[in-house]
Every structure is written in C-alpha cells, then in structure tokens.
A and B are shown apart, each in its own frame.
Chain A
Amino acid sequence: MTDTSKRPSLIGRNLLAGAEPDVAGDAGHEDHPPRVGFFTDTSVCIGCKACEVACKEWNAIPEDGLDFTGMSFDNTQGLSASTWRHVAFIEQNKPLGRAETGVDHGDVDVLALAAQGSGTPVQEAAITPTSPASPSADGQNGLRWLMSSDVCKHCTHAACLDVCPTGALFRTEFGTVVVQDDVCNGCGYCVPACPYGVIDVRPEDGGAHKCTLCYDRLGAGQEPACAKACPTDSIQFGPLDGLRERAAARVEELHRVGVEDARLYGHDPEDGVGGDGAFFLLLDEPEVYGLPPDPVVTTRDLPSMWRHAGAAALTLLGGVAAVFAAQAGVSGRRTGRRR
C-alpha cells in the first residue's frame, strides 16, 4: 500500500511523461495495491499460443479470421481488438544460444515494420524469417527460432487513456489501463495514440478493446488467464517491482551462460513511456519482434504543445486586444475628432 499522505501534489508535475512512481495513486486510488504487470521472458517461450487461447476463452473475444499468412507459425498477425495476446515467430540464421549482438538493422524502416507487427507480408519484410535465405558458406544452418508473446504494455504514461474523451479508458488501482465497454463510444482517438499499435476498434460492436490484464480476475486475487496458462512460465505475473528484479537477474544469468543477445525491453521507468507495466526479455532487437525500438508516449509533448499553443493563443489574444485597443484609440480619436 502506498502512503497517500506522502504523495506529492499533482500540481506542477508533468503527468504525461517521465518517471512516475505511483501511477495508481496519482489516478486517485487511495490505499491501492502494488502496481502489477507482466514480465514475458521470451527465452523460454515455446510458441504454443496457450496465452492467446486462454485470453480469448476468459474474455470471450471472437475468433478473428482463418488467414494462412506464411509468417512462420504466426497466423494471428498482431494485436487487435479481438487479439489481446499475440505470439510472434521469427526464424533466423543465427546459432542457437550463441546469438550475435549488435546486428545492424540500419537499412530497415523499423517503425513501419513495428506498425504492422509481425504480420508484414513476406515480400515486404526485410528481416522476416521465412523469406528464403541461402545457407551459409559451410552449408550449415545455424538456425534459431524466436517466439514472443506480445500484449498491451499498460504504459506508465498511457496515451490511449490520456486522449480518451469519455473516460472509458482508466487507470485501475493495480496501475493497469482498462477500457470500460459500457462507457466507450468507439470514437477511436485511442487507436492512433498508442505508440505500440495495441488498441483497436472492433467493427462488430464499435467499441475499442485491448488487454485488461484480466482486471476482473485481479480484483478476486487471481492472476491473468494468459499467465496462468503459460506452460513454461514465459509469461510471469506479479508486482512490477518484483518482476523487474527477477528480470534483471534473468538477463544476468543468460549473459553468464553466453546468451549475450538477451536484453530487457520496456522495463526502464525512464523510457519514453515511463516504463511498461508489461515488459519483455528479448533475444534480439525489438524491431525484429515487431516492437518499436524507442516508443514515446504520443502525449509526451502535450504540455509543451499546450504551452506553445497557449503562448500562441496569448499572442493572438494580445494581438487582437492590441488591435481592439488600437481600434479603441482610433475610434476615440475619431470620437474626439467628431467631438
């Protein structure tokens, strides 16, 4: 529990970017439980997609299409209003467990790729695996197959929430971000606001939908359906502080055994979204998994934008006032003249 008496005042702070230690408290939840989240350790993911199904079963999300994509075993293609967990599959010509670091993706438009998730059509994919590549010179394939279950990041600074005009999106007492179906009017402002392309509007019901981190289950002390199902504990659920510690130790362990590619993604409270509530251990650059390399909350610049807009408005107003003032003088003079 957070001691609310010591909470700093909201006034004068930038609540749209930067570090934010008490995200639930600042959203008005007094005596709230610790912030919870997901740590998805992709180094033990077996790509079974239990998370996708467990999520759909629990949340009664409709099946959304029988598309054979050819994107390795990824026929889900990405997160959407009807897919709140998505397992990406990346086949790479890299030795197992001895992955090289510092692969240059400089020639790849990663942001464009990220927007498409791993559902990039084969012919357009620069780093997508199933596009046939020739074997190495010695004829040996040092192949590895990365799998990673993606989900809503439950950002510390959630632009979807910030832009929601109806209050449908809200910050829960657990620090997660949830859409209230009975409030959402389907305006869709949240869709472009999300720096990860997570939230979307479902055409069938006109509402915006995304992962709730099983808000209803959390309230009853139960873990989210995906984390509960995950056969290898690739998806771990718990208080965010504990998860961050566990994740740091896991990266260290992997580095120790030679998996130098291991790195965390979304764990850093100082990053562009103030750290993710759902963060990841990856074995390659984020863009390889269809994740933006350096996401920034799209509302980060709102204060300065408002400041500029305000200044502009003031300037405008001043100008107008000046014009009126000048006008008044002129008319006075005119009056005087008339007088």
Chain B
Amino acid sequence: MGVRTWIQEWPVYRQLTGSDPLGRGAATTSAATREQRPRTVTADKVVKSVCPYCAVGCAQNVYVKDDRVVQIEGDPDSPVSRGRLCPKGSASLQLTTGESRRHEVLYRRPYGTEWERLDLDTAMDMVVERVIRTRREGWQWERDGVSVNRTLGIASLGGATLDNEENYLIKKLLTGLGVIQVENQARVCHSSTVAGLGTSFGRGGATTFLQDLQNADCIVIEGSNFAEAHPVGFQWVMEAKARGAKVIHVDPRFSRTSALADLYVPIRAGTDIAFLGGIINHVLTGGHDFRDYVLEYTNAATIVGEDFEDTEDLAGIFSGLDPETGHYSISTWAYEGGEVQAPQGTPDELYEDRTRRDASLSSAASSESHGSGGAPTSAQVPTDRTLRHPRCVYQILKRHFSRYTPEMVEETCGIPQDTFLEVCHALVENSGPDRTSEFVYAVGWTQHTVGAQYIRTASILQLLLGNIGRPGGGIQALRGHASIQGSSDIPTLFNVLPGYIPMPHAHAHEDLDTFVEAMKTDKGFWGEMRSYVVSLLKAYFGDAARADNDYCFGHLPRLTGSHSTYHTVKEMLDGVCKGYFLMGENPAVGSANTKMQRLGMANLDWLVVRDFSLIESATWWQDGPEIETGELRTEDIATEVFFFPAAAHTEKSGSFTNTNRMLQWHFAAKEPDGEARSDLWFMYHLGRRIKERLKDSTDPMDRPVQDLAWSYPTEGPLDEPSAEAILAEINGRDARGAPLSAYTQLKDDGSTSCGCWIYCGVYADGVNQAARRKPHTEQDWVAAEWAWAWPANRRILYNRASADPDGKPWSERKALVWWDADQERWTGHDVPDFIPDRAPSYRPPEDARGPDALSGVDPFIMQADGKGWLYAPAGLVDGPMPTHYEPQDSPVRNPLHPEQQRNPVREVISDEHNAFHPSGGEPGSEVFPYMITTYRLTEHFTAGGMSRWTPYLAELQPEFFCEVSPELAAERHLEHTGWATLVSARGVIEARVMVTERMSPIRAGGRTVHQIGLPYHWGPNGYTRGDAANELSAIALDPNVHIQEVKALSADIRPGRRPRGPKLTALLEDYRRRAGITPRTGTEVRG
C-alpha cells in the first residue's frame, strides 16, 4: 500500500474530502467492511436438498465451499415451503457440521465398562459374523407345523429419518435373511393412520397436500400441535385464515397452535371419538349431510348382515367378541350376503374365509363359498338408496351415534355445549357444494389404544360432509419425520411389504396364488395384486424368481401374530431376540416404557447403533437410569455394543417422502467425514459381505440370501452405492430393462420387476422425477412439476369426488377435476385419481373384475366396492364403527358405556415392568388422579437425537418441564420454575414446573380432571438433559396396528425432585402397593 493510498484510507481524510463530513457513514467504513461478501455468494456450489427434520419437506439450498458445507437455507422455489425454514431446519448447519457429531466407530465389549475404538472394516466384519451366527442359531423352519422360514433372533428399528432407498435396502436384505422384526418410527407415530384412512378410503396416506389448506373454508386442527411440530406447513393455515377461513384448534393444551386459532376448544385427553361422534350425531340428526355425495360415493346405502349387533345393544361391545381371548370374530360385521376385503389394515383376519373352498359357516355373512373367486362384488351387495332400511349403513350409523349428544360430549370431553355447537355450526356451514372444510391431525389421534378408530371417526364425518377428494377438504395426516411416509410406503415395518402388500402370515400349504386370493379385492386396483407381488419378487430375487418356483414366494419369511417393536422387546426380555439394529431411532427415550426398552437391550448378545451422537440407546449400559438405581450393573451386562457414526442428509443422495406422499430428492453435497457412512452404504456392504460369506453354502436356509438380487453400482472414494440405481429398481423395469412409467404396466408373468408398485413412475423415462425442481412461481398452485407424488403424481386423492355423479364440478368455486365430454376424458387442475377415460355413466358388467369393475361413480378406486366406508365391514379388528372408550389408564369412568371402560380388544403386554393403573373410580385409581399428555415443542425433535445435542436449539428450550394449571399447582403445592416429581406404575421422573393458564382443569365424568403436559424430547444424554417422559408410559396398544397410548395416561405429581438410587425404586414400589396393583390390574377384557 502506497503512502497515498494509506492516507486516502484514513477515515478522517475521507471525512474531510468526501460526502460524509460528519463521519457517520461512508467515511468510516473499513476495508474489511467494504470487501465483505456473503458466503452464499462465495460458495463453490449450491446443492439442492431437503430438510431432515419433520415431514413438511422444506427444500434446502446447501452451500459448499472448499468441500465444506458453509450454509444451509431454504430454497424459495419450493411450492411447499417457499424458502422458509423453522428453527430446526435453520439449525441444520449446526446439526450437520457441529461438534456434537461423532465420526469414529466405537465398540463396547461384553461386560466392558468403557467404549473402545474399532476400525470400520473390522467392525463391519464383526457385525457380519454376528448376523450370520445369530440367524443360524435362531432359525425357525416351522412353527406349529406350518412353514415360517425365519429368525426371531434379529430385529431392526428405525427408518423414518432415512431415505426411501435406504429403507428399501433394509427391508430387502433383512427379508432375504429371514428377519421379520423390522420396524421404524411409523409404528409408534402413525401406524393407526394407515389403518384408519386405509380402511375408510383405500389408501393409508393423507388425502390431500399442504398447499391445499389455503382453499379450505374451515380448518379443524385436532390431535395436532401443527404450528409447533410443523411450523413451515402452518403457513398454509395462515394463508387460509387470511382468506377468511375459520381455524379451530381442539386440544388438551393451549399451545402455539391455539394461539393462532379463531377458536380454541379445550378437551379432555383421550375423548376425541366422543367429540367427533357428537358432531356426526349433529350432522345426522339435523340432516346436514351432503346427501348426493353420501348416496353416490359412500357405502351409506349398503345393507349390513342380520347378525351384526352394535355397542348400543351389547353394553359397549360389538357382536363377535370372545371374552376369553379378547378378540373379535369379525364375520358378523359383514355386508348382507357376503364379506368384502380391505387389503389395508389387517386383511389376514379373513384369510380362512377367503381361501376356504368348501366352507359352510352358519353366519349369513360368510356362508358363501366363493370357489376360486373371492368376495362378491359390491354389485351383488344389496343396497337401499332411500337410506330407510333399518340395516342400511346410514341407519346403523345414526343409531350408533344417537347417544353422542351435546350433553354427552360435555360430560365426556368437558367441552361446554355452546362451544361444541359452535364447532358443529362452523363445519356444517363450511361444507357442501360451494364450501369445504379440512381436518388436520397428527399423533394426538394416533397414539391411543383406539387410535385407528379416532381417524375412522374423522373419516366418517368428512365423508358425511362431502369433504373428501375436494379442494380445501380432506384429512391431513401430519407426519413428523422426514421420510416417515416413505418408511411406511417402502416399509421398514414387520407386517407389510413395499406398497402395502401384506407380509404373508404362516398358513398351511400357502402358495403365491392362495396368498393373492386371500388378500386381493375383486374390484378396484387391489384386484391386480398378483402383478404387484410378482413384480416385487422379481425386484427382490431377480433372475432366481421364476414362474416354476412361484417367483421365490416361498423365500419370504412368515408372520405368526404381531412382531411389532413392542412385541420384539418382549422377545428380547424372553431371550429369543439376540441382535438389534438401531438406525436413527432412540427407543430408550422415544418408545413407551423406556425401562423395558433398556432391559430388553441389556438382554441382547449384540446391538448396533447408527446415529450422529451417543444417544441414550447407545449408552444405557454405562449411564442409564437403571445403572443409577442399581437395578443393573455395567459389569454384569453381556451386550456387545457397536456404534457406527451416520452420514447426514447433506452427505448422501436419496429421496424423502414428505407428509403428502411427495418424493423429493436430495443430492449429496460432500462425502461424509471420518468413518461416518450413509445407511445405504451400511446395508449394501453388510449384504455384500454376508452374501460373500454364504455364497458356497449348501444350507437351504441360505438359499434366499444367495438368490437375493444385490448388485448395485457404487461410486466415489467410499464405494457408496448409487441411490439413483436403487430408485430405478423401486420404480420398476419392463422385460427389456427399460423403466416403467405407471403401475398399470405391471404384469404377473414375471416380465416386469418393481420394488414398490405405488412408486412406479418416479423414474419414468429414465428420469429422476423426484428431483424435479420447477419453481412454484412458474406453475399453478398444484405445482405438479415439483418432485413427484404417489400415486401417479396425484396431489389430492379420490379427486373424482370433486365432481358430481355426472362428472361436473360440484361448484365452480370448488372445481378440481371433471369429465370432458368432448375429449371423453377426465381432466382438471390435478391428475385425475380415476381411470382416465371411464365415463361417469359407465356401469360395469356383472362379471367384471379388478379395475374393470369400477363404475363411473366409484371415486375410491382402491376400495373393494369403490365407495368411502362410513361403516368398515372389514379391515379393523376392534369394530366396524368407532366407539368412545377410556384410555388404558384413566381416572374417569367411561360416561358413554359405564359397563365397558376400555377398548375390549386392546393389546397389553404383560410384564412386571409394565404394570397398569386401576381406572375409573376403582379402588386405587385415586393414587394416580391426574391425566398426562405428551407432546412436541417447536424447538426440539422427537427423542432429541437431532436437537438436544444442537446448542442453538438446546438454548431455546433448555430443560425438561411439565405444564400444569394454576389450580393443580395450588392443589399439589407446585412452584413455578421449581421441581416436580411425576409417578406412574412404570416409573418416576422429575421436571421443572411451568405453571400456566394455558393448562386448564376440565370438568368431566362428574369430577375435575387436571391435565399435565409433558414434552417427550428429553433424556439423560446430550447438551440439554432431563428425564424422559416415556419412563411413565405403558405398553398398551391399539390392536390393529400395535401403536402405544402415550397421549393420555394417568399419573401422580408431587412437589420437589425425585429420589436417587434405590430410593427411587422404593418410591415406585410404594405407589404400586398403595394402588393395589397386581399383574391383572387393567388387563380385563370386559368391564
């Protein structure tokens, strides 16, 4: 720098000579200030990605400089997020590049007290050796004389935070190995959604997409903390509000969602069926249903068999209950003259009936023998279009809900009658040809012992109001992990294969044909199930799958009952399950009854944890709560623990399926550091090494592994398998290897392969459709050219129903798709969810099967009768219609059915650590007088693995707390910001106290019910630490889908911190003794 320049740089010189004589602006800038450029500009490249937190699926731009990620922010082109990110999405730079991530493999040897280092290659070989050994030792050829071909020795948990391609490889490899206990977060979060929506409409996903909220005239958010758990998606509620929509929030807690609602309705936790049932009653008794819609598009007119008896007739139970086993025989629920299959939900219920060639059952419903055919088509089911027949669905529904009066709603839910009626009026006024209302829910509905029926209740109501398949209508299931929809579609779930094809149960002499016969429907697209199954088997077993070996159908391991993650825990405790993979899931915090989770893991031979940091599920042997109380000693625990650091979303390519079934591709921005690897890498190389070891084996149990098609191209220095190649396999190929473009091209003769039939088309024309990123500003509001949604890129499902029976929109205001008579095709704003050229006037011949049997007025093309189900004759094991039952642990006696407190067929797992509470005024129920509901905060994520270690998030909600009302605080002497101890029969925890009027006591069941809110994100590890709310929860499950009840459970609260060490176990024992708890408490079927 010359002297002249140096002088000119002097601010005083510039002040005196320039335009800023006061020296407050231009003159005072330093060289550094003038030269600064944002790192978004200086980056070497910008990589398109998707946020890894919740399932809104906000698009991200990842800025990379010198092979380092330097910034992550929203991509303004996205039609879903419009460039916005919530605090978690905004913190994803710190999540992925922060100091809390581990990059080395760690190993804890049996009985070891410390972690040791292990190199990645050795660790992989050790895991391979253990998988092969455990599989061999635990192999089952048969169970009860029936072939099962499986091992219960190994289990896996996790997938909802992973890519679709990773889920695909996990399920494929483990299925090939005969491992059936494959589960992920979808089990504990939204499994009841699949059953509830699936049986009602034919598909288990949300019926609409987030942006469509803006078209709603009324939005009811219930069972969801929308604004907190899905903040960026909530912008569409605000859009609707700005356009004049009424927003109603129904919740036990006044949350940040309530703060933005027009009407907040406090409700007693666990009573939503009573509330929604009350609205159904209001609609039916007032004649407010959308009659033309109901008559044409639902099963309202269908006649139900004579043997059906309702809960109103049988004191709270339906016909068919076996009080000894606690199971329903569902045959009496059938339509008159025949049963009808629901492939979603629990189709195996009807296996015997549907495969029996010469059955002669006494019941009218199942007495038909169907020859080689299945259930009769709906054309043969009698209907009464006047809706007057006493056994038509409409009349049965009306009777069933007739006691759900405003008075009963008040008594049960604690909702004042005028508030309840305000909701009724808002919904009725905002439904019909010109207006639509939308329901939004999340795990506040799913996580109950009657979870699937919560969603059924909303489905029935929305069908009656004519809100399904129409813009601004529908049911929005908000999902909470980046790809939890994907890990349901390409399932890492025990009971389904990709595309919701049921996993085969063990049956004698079952082959591919009998399996398909039992599962498929005769009408609609499930009628083509054989094509889907054969194409999947071709994708799994490649050339080895041939017509002469039943396409390797026999290679598939068989189920015997439930193998859910909770039943697997029991298998661990019983010493059956010996090896466990945890891939991005933290059951020691996030699953119900965390103590059983840890005790189960302490009984394993080996445990593999793949995560970013040392989560509680990886370190329980060292510092878990049982070590603190002395129930376990580190030196006594034999479990070998492997910790593998995982790659972040920025370090791998793949697709996430968002909450609205939309697959969005994210590209790798860089290679993972150290020994961190993607789960795709882990599964691929694990499978490759296992196959290599077993390639010369002559043991027949190794044949499926040998036959597994496992050749994928790898790329880069780490030999990362190509995610796009796997997406192409998922999409499917024809006989020449060319990509398919639609599932209608699938064949059942082995000439096509397809890894997930509902995803067929995502790689159409050899182009990664999930990677499409045409900006929303260059498209209409549907934005069909952004990414790709299943099925067939439709955004609003069942949208045939947006037009009247003649194919015209119900109103101009609510037009979506319609029949173009000139072109003789369906057309409109969205991809029609219907056969493109099937005219509204078309009526199928009597003998039509599959899609050919769909008439021009059957909008629910996946349903066995083409109709939306107000009444579910099959598909659910706990009733064809929803009924209010109290939660498993509830201080309130069931006001609706005092003689039947709980869901009679709920699942409870008996274990000394899974004790239940006396309920509903029974002696001892006063020991646990309060209701707890668990929930999420904006600032944290699920079990904390992706937020508690992130300082920017931790500081926003730095401690575990409980929310209590001022009244409860006074009653129990709880001090604001002080400590409270919470006790259930399962555990004792402590939390800071948040006294707030947002929690209000509720008057219900003739008493005051105090409710306590507990965010469930905390655990003893991480940057912010606290006790886990799930120490209190029990394993009490919905019988359809085995989801746990954590949204409503009774407990006690007392001031002060909890005891430490053995005193804690003593306090727990004392509570159990005072409540008189026995192993039988709360397990009864009747009563």
> Which residues of A pack against B, CB within 8 Å?
4, 10, 15, 24, 26-30, 44, 46-50, 52-54, 56-58, 63-70, 72-73, 75-76, 91, 93, 96-97, 122, 129-135, 141, 143-147, 161-162, 167-168, 170-173, 178, 180, 182-183, 214-217, 219-220, 222, 225, 228-233
Contacts and interface: CB of A to CB of B under 8 A. Distances in A.
Nearest to B261: A96
What 4 pairs between A and B have smallest CB-CB spacing? A28-B20, A27-B25, A167-B28, A132-B966
B89 to A, nearest CB: 7
A172 B235 CA distance: 33
Contacts of A214: 38
A219 B84 contact: no
A170 B71 CA distance: 27
A91 B996 contact: yes
B89 A50 contact: yes
Interface string B986-1027: 000000101111101000000000000000000000011000
B37 interface: yes
A180 B23 contact: no
B254 interface: yes
Given A143-B998, A231-B86, A10 B22 contact: yes
B958 A66 contact: yes
A46 B226 CA distance: 10
B90 A97 contact: no
B682 interface: no
Contacts of B235: 231-233
Given A70-B977, A135-B1000, A215-B33, 8 more contacts: A29-B20, A49-B956, A68-B961, A73-B937, A130-B996, A173-B25, A215-B36, A231-B84
Q: What band does the interface of chain B fall in when counting residues whose beta carbon is under 8 Å from A? A: 35 or more
Contacts of A228: 73-74, 83-84
B19 A30 contact: yes
B231 interface: yes
B418 to A, nearest CB: 11
A126 B765 CA distance: 67
Contacts of B1000: 135, 141
A65 to B, nearest CB: 6
13 contacts: A15-B22, A27-B24, A47-B938, A49-B956, A52-B956, A54-B87, A65-B955, A65-B958, A73-B937, A129-B997, A130-B995, A167-B11, A219-B37
A28 B994 CA distance: 52
B520 to A, nearest CB: 43
Contacts of A24: 25
A130 B976 contact: yes
B93 to A, nearest CB: 5
Given A54-B85, A232-B234, A219 B20 contact: no
Given A50-B87, A54-B90, A132-B976, A66 B955 contact: yes
A145 B86 contact: no
Interface string B949-960: 001111111110
A29 B25 contact: yes
Interface in B244-291: 254, 256-264
Nearest to B238: A232
Contacts of A178: 33
A63 B952 contact: yes
B1004 to A, nearest CB: 14
B686 interface: no
A18 to B, nearest CB: 16
Given A162-B24, A170-B28, A44 B260 contact: yes
B536 interface: no
A26 B957 CA distance: 44
A184 to B, nearest CB: 10
Contacts of B18: 28
Given A133-B966, A143-B997, A220-B38, A230 B84 contact: yes
A65 B958 CA distance: 9
Contacts of B959: 66, 68
A134 B25 contact: no
A204 B858 CA distance: 69
A109 B260 CA distance: 30
B220 to A, nearest CB: 16
B19 A231 contact: no
A302 to B, nearest CB: 12
Nearest to A227: B84
A183 B30 contact: yes
Contacts of A225: 73, 90
A134 B995 CA distance: 12
Contacts of B74: 228-229
Interface of B: 11, 18-30, 32-33, 36-38, 40-41, 71-74, 83-91, 93-94, 227-228, 231-232, 234-235, 238, 254, 256-264, 937-939, 951-959, 961, 966-967, 969-970, 976-977, 992, 994-998, 1000, 1023-1024
Contacts of A29: 19-20, 25-26
Contact of B32 (A58, A66, A180): A180
A172 B259 contact: no
Given A171-B24, A182-B32, A48 B955 contact: no
Contacts of A180: 28-30, 32-33
Nearest to A69: B977
Nearest to B94: A57
- Candidate in A46, A47, A147, A217 with the most chain B CB atoms within 10 angstroms: A46
B957 A73 contact: yes
Contacts of B1024: 66
A10 B21 contact: yes
B976 A70 contact: yes
B232 to A, nearest CB: 4
Contacts of A65: 955, 958
A217 B40 contact: yes
Contacts of A129: 996-997
Contacts of A73: 256, 937, 957
Contact of A231 (B231, B263, B937): B231
A132 B24 contact: no
Nearest to A72: B996
B963 to A, nearest CB: 10
Nearest to A46: B227
A292 B134 CA distance: 69
A96 B263 CA distance: 8
B231 A216 contact: no
B976 A53 contact: no
Contacts of B23: 167
Nearest to A49: B87
A277 to B, nearest CB: 14
A217 B41 CA distance: 9
A205 to B, nearest CB: 15
Contact of A75 (B26, B232, B957): B957
A28 B27 contact: yes
B861 to A, nearest CB: 35
A134 B966 contact: yes
A233 B232 CA distance: 10
A122 B954 contact: no
A168 B28 CA distance: 7
A145 B976 contact: no
A48 B953 contact: no
Contacts of B228: 46, 48
Nearest to B255: A145
Contact of A53 (B38, B256, B261, B953): B953
A70 B994 contact: yes
Contacts of A46: 227-228, 231, 234, 256-257, 259-260, 938
B256 A143 contact: no
Contacts of A66: 954-955, 958-959, 1023-1024
A232 to B, nearest CB: 5
B91 to A, nearest CB: 5
A133 B969 CA distance: 12
A187 to B, nearest CB: 15
B260 A229 contact: no
B26 A28 contact: yes
Contacts of B22: 10, 15, 26-28
Given A63-B955, A66-B958, A91 B30 contact: no
